[in-house]
Amino acid sequence: MRGREAAARLMITVMTAISLIAGACDEREAVPRPRTAPAPVSPVETPAPAPAPAPTRSPAPPSRDAASERPAPPRVDHEELPEGLRDFVATRENRGLLWAGPMAGNGGRDVVVYLPPGADPLAEYRLVYHFHGTYSERVERRRPGAPKKRWVGWARLQQTLDAIDELQASRPYNVALVYPFSAGKRKEPDRRGYFNRAYDRMWMLPSGPDYTDSFATLDDEVRRLLTRSFRIRPSTIAREVIAEGHSAGGIALRNIARAGVDNVGEYIFLDASFEGWADGCYAETRKRERPARISIVMTDGGIADPFGRHDPWCSRLERQAGEWEKQKTTCAALLERPADAPGDDPEARARCTTLRGVAVQWRDGRERWCAEMKSDMRDLDGVYVHRTRVYHGDQPRHFSGGLELPSARFSAPI
């Protein structure tokens, strides 16, 4: 009998020792501990078994909002940046995550990629590509006496980042801003000298070996940067993007649409719907199976109003198309004759050539565009017009990424 009791007590002691050893070990430790012989057991009464421990839950897998899942600051040598842009980057320290450097899709010129603070790792990331206006390719601090064209680039970049900060804080999704810099002005194919003095007409228009801008390439580069350097999961980055242009940046939107890009969900023209730009973008997007939406923000009566004081181009084209109808018989006879024929009138020939070109453009789409613009596109699907009293230069702060535009501006929510 004593032998049985001793054996039972020995068994309980061994099991208790094993339990204590297992609890003291780190569950990740794979090295077994040596076993020791049990101490001699006194012939005393067998103790009652200890109550079973309460069941415990298996540890839950790490949630996706763990620190390791949040965007990380990319490693970049900002010393390679132009001095003004380097100074600007320094002012953004500890305010979101910012990368700046050259990208092939922007013709090898610099691009700023910015993630505002407050990102939710569980939410989708939406990309906003912002194309700046005239003179904003230069980023310099504002100094006393400096002309506006030297410091306006700093101001516009600051406005846009501030708007994106607010957009991030007010939307249920995350935002990533992509801010490329234009060439300012450059020579154009088949033209001598600088045809355009103020802005880059070739921005985002691939055209031969000297014009390598490509929105598709730029978008691929940005996505690789976000996943590899910012540590954002590719599955959380939305395929469709917003492409917006302020002022002269509107021509980049027209060029993107002309290049056949298929992942722009919305084009936003910020006081940038000049002749041939927004309407040209619209014409190009209608060729796609899923046409992009177009939002047009314009200061009422401002520089982009097609019926305003600055350049009422819809009124002008309508008038010239009417003149062609009245003079097309006379003009047709004049244009059929050789330019060097006796009695040729070069001025009349030039005027007839202009009127004929306008008449073709008017017939091929601008007549309808201008007619719909008279009612702010109320009856044209996929186009939204937002008239505002916000000054031209302040529009990036108010409307970047659609910040102050109604979310229900189209039949499907944005």
CATH code of residue 168: 3.40.50
Q: For residue 13, give the H/E element and its range.
A: helix 2-24
Are 131 and 255 in the same domain?
yes
Are 219 and 292 in the same domain?
yes
Within a domain: 196: yes
Within a domain: 179: yes
Give me the mean pLDDT over the 125-136 stretch.
97
pLDDT at 120: 93
Are 127 and 272 in the same domain?
yes
pLDDT at 53: 45
Are 41 and 112 in the same domain?
no
Within a domain: 105: yes
Structural tokens at position 121: 């790792």
Are 348 and 397 in the same domain?
no
What are the angstrom distances between the C-alpha of 413 and each of 16, 133, 242, 368? 64, 28, 14, 26
Query: Bridge-partner residues for 174, per DSSP?
Result: 125
Within a domain: 68: no
Are 249 and 290 in the same domain?
yes
**Residue 179 pLDDT more than 90?**
yes
Within a domain: 409: no
End-to-end CA distance of the chain: 83
Within a domain: 59: no
Give me the mean pLDDT over the 60-66 stretch.
37
Give me the mean pLDDT over the 198-227 stretch.
91
Burial of 72 (0-12, 13-18, 19+ CB in 10 A): middle
Are 148 and 292 in the same domain?
yes
Are 197 and 337 in the same domain?
no
Q: Give the tens place of pLDDT for each residue, 44-55.
A: 343 444 444 444
Within a domain: 410: no
Question: Residue 278: CB partners within 8 Å, gap ≥ 6?
Answer: 250, 253, 254, 267, 269, 272, 294, 296
**Residue 347 pLDDT more than 80?**
yes
Report which of residues 386 and 72 the model is more confident about.
386
Helices (H), 95-234: 148-170, 215-228
Report which of residues 6 and 268 the model is more confident about.
268
pLDDT at 35: 34
Are 237 and 341 in the same domain?
no
Are 255 and 137 in the same domain?
yes
Give me the mean pLDDT over the 137-146 stretch.
94
Instruction: Give the residue numbers spanning the domain of 1.
Output: 1-54
Are 81 and 23 in the same domain?
no
pLDDT at 88: 95
State the chain's mean pLDDT as an integer: 83
Helices (H), 235-312: 250-258, 278-285
Give me the mean pLDDT over the 169-186 stretch.
94
**pLDDT level of residue 207 (50, 70, 90 thresholds):** confident
Structural tokens at position 219: 């978008």
pLDDT at 163: 98
**Residue 185 pLDDT more than 70?**
yes
Within a domain: 208: yes
Q: Locate tokens 């804080």: which residue?
A: 169
Q: Give the tens place of pLDDT for each residue, 5-26.
A: 444 443 444 344 434 333 433 4
Look at residues 256, 265, 227 and name the one whose alpha carbon lies nearest to residue 402: 265
When divided into structural domains, the chain yields a total of: 3
Give me the mean pLDDT over the 181-206 stretch.
77
Are 317 and 249 in the same domain?
no
pLDDT at 196: 56
What are the angstrom distances between the C-alpha of 163 and each of 151, 154, 166, 182? 19, 14, 5, 21
